[in-house]
Structure formats: C-alpha cells, structure tokens
Amino acid sequence: MQDKYQIEIDEFRERFSDFQDQRIILYGIGRYTATILNGISDYHFVGLMDKDPDNIGKTVFDLPILDAKEAEKKGDLIVINTSETYWNVIFNRIKDIRIPVYYKNGERAEEKQEQRRENPYRHLSKEELYQRIDIADVITVDFFETLFMRRVCNPRDVFKLLEIEFEAEWQQDLSYTEVRNQAIHDIRENYTFDELYDRIIELTGLPKTFAERIKKRELELEEELLVLRQTVAESIAYAISKGKEVFIISDMYLPKEFYLRLIRKEKLSIEEDHILISCELDRDKKSGSIWEWFRQKIGKHSVLHIGDNEKADVEIPREYGIETYQTPASWSLARQSSIEGVTSRITDLYTSLIMGAVFSELFGDPFSLKDENGVTVIANEETMGYCVFGPVVLTFLLWLLRKGEHDGIGRFVFMSRDGYLLQKDFLELCEALGIERDTCYIGISRQLAMTASIETRDDLLDFLHMPYSGSVSELFEDRLGISGVDAETEEGAIEKYVGSYEGEIWENINRIRAEYISYLNGFELGETSAVVDLGFYGNNQRFLNKLTGKAMPGYYFNANLSEKNENTRHQKMSACFQGMDDPTGQNSQVLKRMIFIESFLTAPYGMVKEVKKDGTFLTAPVKENQKHFDVKERINDGVKRFIRDVAEKIERYRVKLDIPFVDAFYGLCFDGSIKYSDTIKGSFYNDNAMMNRLESMLFY
C-alpha cells in the first residue's frame, strides 16, 4: 500500500537533493505534504504556508504555518508542494517573496508574462446590427459561415470525409479529391453541382448510378455538418418582422433546393426567388459581378449586407454602394481569441471535427468575443461540458471502445464515484453509434477496497500509516469506524490504540469484507471484464482482482506504468492520455489537471465506505462537490450533447484519434486562457476523504 507514496518521496529526494541541509518551507497542508513529512526525516523542514490567512500561526504536522515575512526569516527556499493545477496561482500570490520558490517537480518558479492582443471584433454587437437593419430597406445575408456554419474547421474536410466513403465503396486506385480538383479546373468559374459531377464522370468513367450516390452523399454530409448561427438567424427574423426584404447571396455551386431545405427546416421566412447563388447567376461576390448586378436590380433602395468575409462580404460590396456589417466566422473569432494557440495544431480530420464542434459552441455567436483582449468566456455549465470536458471524455471513451474491441473485452466495469457519470456518457456514446456494450457500475473506493483486503496486522498498520492530516481519533473514526478514541499524539499512538480496539477493529473489517465480497460475486465478473478508472496506480484494480479472484485488466485516463509501480508487474494496465515514452504520464496535461476531472466526475453521494450484499451503499457525508451535483449534471449534459454531435462521424469514418491534441487543448482550458462563470467556479472542490476532512476550491 505504501508503493505509491514511496515513489513521491523518492522523487522529492531526487529533485531537492541539493537542498537537503537548507531550511525548506512547504507550501500546502494537504496530502502531498503529509506524504513528504511522513516519509522524509533527514531534510530540514522548518515551516508550512497556506492560502488561508486564518491558518497562519497554527501548527500542522508539528510545523508552524508562516506568513510571507516569517517565511523569509526562517526559510532558505519554498517548495510549492501541491497539484500542478495550483502552481501558477500560488506563485503569483507569493512571487514578491525574497527567497527562491520552486515547484514540487524541482523547477524554479518564474513569473509568466501575460500576452496582450488587439481584438478587432470587440466593438461588434447585436444591438448595433439591429440599428443598422432599422435604417436599411433591403437586407442581404451570406449563407455559409454566416447564417449557417460547418462543424469542421476547414470546408475541404467535407471532401476528405467524402473521399473515405468513395474509396471504401469504389475500391480502386482513384483519389476522389484529386479527380474533383481536376474537374473544377476544367469547368467554368461559377460551375453548378451538376456540371461538376458530369465532368467527374467524364474524367473517370464512373457509372452514373455510382456518381449519383456520391453526389447525393455530398449533399447529405454538408447538411449533417451545418448548424444554424442562432444570433444571425434572429437578426434576419427581426428584419423580416420590420418589413424588410431579405435575400440570401452566396458564392456556391450547390443547388437552390439544398438552401431551401435548410431554410425550411429552420423555419426561416425567405422566399425561393430571394436565394441568389453564384452558380445560377454566373456572377459572384469575390469578383464583384453579383454586387453590381444586385445594385442595379434593387435600384435606389438602401441595402445592408451581413457576412463574414472581410473581402467578399465587406470591402467589395461597399464599392457598389452597399452598406455592410461583418459577422465574423467562428474560425476567425477563434484566431483572435485567447485560445488562438490551438488553431495551428488543427491539422487532421479528428482535430477538425473536435474543434469544429467546440468553435461552433464558443463562437457560434459572432458577437461572443467582446473582451478587449479576446479572452474566451464560458458562462454556463453546459457549454463547459461541451467545450472543455466533452473532447476529453469522448476521446477517452472512443479509445476505450476501440481498445476493448482489440483486447476482446465483453464488459466494462465502471467504479464509484468517478464512473457514475462516465458510465452514462459511455452508454450515450453507444446509443449515438447504434451499438450495444455490456457495462456495470460497482460501489468501491480506495478505502473500502483496502479495508476489505486487510488480512494481517501488518496490512492493518500499513493502512493506518498511510498519510492522513487529521488527528489519531479522526483517523480511527474515518478509516475504521471506531469512534470516541481519545488519542495522544506521541509516537506509537496508532499501534497503542490498535491494541486497545483490536477486537472491534477486526470485527468491523471481517464484516465489511464478507458483505462486500458477497456483493461483488453478484456481478459475476469474468476474465473478459475490464476495470475503467481515471487513474493512477491501479490499486482499486489490484484489490478488486484480489477480492474476486479474477485478473481483470484496467483502462485509465492516466496511469503509472513504470517499473516503480509494483502493480504493473501483476496486472494489465493501459492509459489513454500518455505516450509509450511517458510511462508515468508526467507530460500529460490531463494528468496535470486531473483534479478538475475528479471534481466533475463525481456522484451525488459521499465516498463509499461499505457496501452491503444487497447493494446498499454506506457513504461518508456529502461534501461540496456533491452539494453542487446539479451543476455537475448540467456540465455532463454538455458532454453528452458533444458526444451526440461528434462521435458518429468519427466512428463512421474510423478517424484516427489525435490524443496528444486533445490532451494539449485540455491543458489550455485551465491555464488562464478561458474565464469561467462564478457558478462554475463555485462548484469545483478538491477533497480526499481518505486522507483528510479538508476541502478547498479549485478556482481560487
């Protein structure tokens, strides 16, 4: 049971070996610090620091909690000994202190320079657009990326998906994309859809019936990937309500029937003869010919055109006396936002499908980027689920599904409490893909699994000596259910009170084990079952296998797969968000910020302490994460909607998962690039009922 903590102790020794004789102050009073202080006695720790000013002057782990001035007097260096999630926040809080500050990975803490950007879209607003509509006689609107947007980052990705279908069905050495490009080169500038496919048939000799199927599929795929930009649609409805004549003007080869179908589907009141398409008129926006023609057609009436393209929708129509209002595309907004850095990494179909959906959610409203510096804001819980956790959860579940197929897994075992929502998301994925997979959800916790696995007095003492930041009496109550222990604090107190309460202790352990094994046997877990968990050392998998007598493999977000983790020698473990060259996941952003996933993927009840054979859970009291469970459910609604929007395309086309990209994007979501609402921030807490009774907010 001590292996996990020994690894952390050994790493601290290695990273701070040069400072062994210096006066070290640890920032943090939680489990990490308990581990270090319990395991290292030959370093000179002189004090602690904490964010809560009310704790200054108190003693924890027999060390005083110091303020900055006292720390400067008593210490030679400070080690921020917390989850990486907090490092930058903590350092910014104490960056003016006059002694060196290090992170617990051994790196010297340095202040990051904030990059400021000029946001060209900050002055745009729905109110101003409505004012411009009020003074115009006629309104024209662009279609693609203005009224509707695609859930891919590049329109050409539609053809990449189509090519997969084409090549799978045709099964000959013929590149659909190359043929299509050649056909476009051969025909007139403002070609129609029919002209394009007629030329493709001429170039390839494809049977007309087959070409018609591909042609039909292209229209279906375009429609599947398009989503209405609600704010723009509302402005058009407003214009119509004010008696304005509204036209769609589009540079496109797709037939008018395609536009009509989408317009009617969304109940937009635009007449068929008011849909003006370049291929039908043989005029286009980019050359200005359609604007010249329309200006003559409309006469002296004042016109306002609404569109996204700086050149074709803004600059050129103005040359023909047409007023314009820019409604930037979601991609353009992303490129000017605080998450701009991710755009250069969108290089394949997977990243395009993932981020196409994210951008449609974040930047579907063309007026969403109002912050002067382009800071991206997530104001509601469902959007957070869709954009932040959606890509991570979907990627993990797709990896799980594919890995399970490869390994012959027949049943996925989701475990409390992390698996409560995760199992629901997995079933949502299966429904979206039209498949069935066997799953179950079992009550478990590290404390319960370890308690039920205790067989000897040494096992018991190991369990009790695991890091804990409360009193001995609290330890006995929390871990063993023994109340009323009036414990002393001298060395040997744990062993002393084990002796005093040994009969009651073993009675509790034996009862818990018997009930729990009876409960587990009811699941009839087999060799083709697999444990699903967030991570990290695989102890729950180990103890579950011990209690059931099985050898179930484990699938994790992250896991310690190094030789230092003894569990890897006795059980099969696989991890999603880390490469073969990163056995501990130390480079994974998901692992570095796992604390947010742990807070989100909770259940509406406290830590499971016992499970009766009839399946009744006996749990610890609910904490803040559970008190805010309604928020977590709304976040998960966003995750499920993301799965429904994206998963089917990825699996239909067997798109290769780009796990490193999703890992990097998740890290960006918590590096300060995104602002979250107070409701969201107020629902995320860190707690570890097995290690202490403390709770702390994650956003602080």
**Is residue 370 very low, low, confident or very high in pLDDT (cuts 50, 70, 90)?**
confident
pLDDT for residue 691? 64
Is residue 314 over pLDDT 50? yes
Between these two residues, 597 and 2, which has the higher pLDDT value? Answer: 597
**27-36, 177-186, 402-411, 663-672 — which is least confidently predicted?**
27-36
Per-residue DSSP letters for 573-634?
Answer: EEESSS-TT-TT-TT-HHHHTHHHHHHHS--SS--EEEE-TTS-EEEPPP-HHHHTHHHHHH
Tens of pLDDT, residues 561-610: 998 898 998 999 999 999 999 999 999 999 999 999 999 999 999 999 99
Give the mean pLDDT of 305-313: 96
Q: Which of 358, 453, 378 has the alpha carbon at shortest distance from 151?
A: 358
Structure tokens at 95: 């960056």
Find the length of the chain. 700
Is residue 1 over pLDDT 50? no
Burial of 178 (0-12, 13-18, 19+ CB in 10 A): exposed
Is residue 171 over pLDDT 60? yes
Tens of pLDDT, residues 262-271: 999 999 999 9
Pairing of strands 77-80, 23-27: parallel
Q: Are 3-103 and 130-334 in the same CATH fold?
A: yes
Is residue 489 over pLDDT 60? no
Is residue 493 over pLDDT 80? no
Pairing of strands 685-687, 275-277: unpaired
- Are 245 and 139 in contact, with CB atoms under 8 Å apart? yes
Is residue 487 over pLDDT 80? no
Is residue 700 over pLDDT 70? no
pLDDT for residue 576? 98
Tens of pLDDT, residues 439-477: 999 999 988 998 998 888 888 888 887 777 777 788 888
Burial of 540 (0-12, 13-18, 19+ CB in 10 A): buried
Q: Which of 395, 394, 446 has the alpha carbon at shortest distance from 418?
A: 446
Superfamily (CATH H level) for 130-334 = HAD superfamily/HAD-like (3.40.50.1000)
- Give the helix ranges, DSSP H, for 408-501: 419-433, 446-453, 457-465, 472-475, 493-500
445 secondary structure, DSSP code: -
**Is residue 114 very low, low, confident or very high in pLDDT (cuts 50, 70, 90)?**
low
Tens of pLDDT, residues 7-27: 889 999 999 999 999 999 999
Tens of pLDDT, residues 128-150: 999 999 999 999 999 999 999 99
Please provide the CATH number assigned to the domain covering 3-103: 3.40.50.720
Give the mean pLDDT of 95-110: 92
The helix/strand/coil state of 377 is strand
Structure tokens at 240: 């119509």
- Are 266 and 275 in contact, with CB atoms under 8 Å apart? no
Rounded Cα gap, residues 608 and 536, in angstroms: 19
Is residue 547 over pLDDT 70? yes
pLDDT for residue 79? 97
Q: Under the phi-then-psi rule, with left for phi > 0, alpha for psi from -120 to 50, and beta for the rest, what region is 150? A: beta
The domain limits of the chain are 3-103, 130-334, 394-627
The helix/strand/coil state of 60 is strand
pLDDT for residue 413? 98
Is residue 292 over pLDDT 90? yes
Tens of pLDDT, residues 628-643: 999 999 999 999 999 9
Give the mean pLDDT of 102-114: 82
Rounded Cα gap, residues 600 and 515, in angstroms: 30
**Residue 517: other Cβ atoms inside 10 A:** 14
In the predicted model, what is the mean pLDDT of the chain? 91
Helix (H) or strand (E) holding 354: helix 349-363
- Are 358 and 668 in contact, with CB atoms under 8 Å apart? no
Tens of pLDDT, residues 333-343: 999 999 998 99
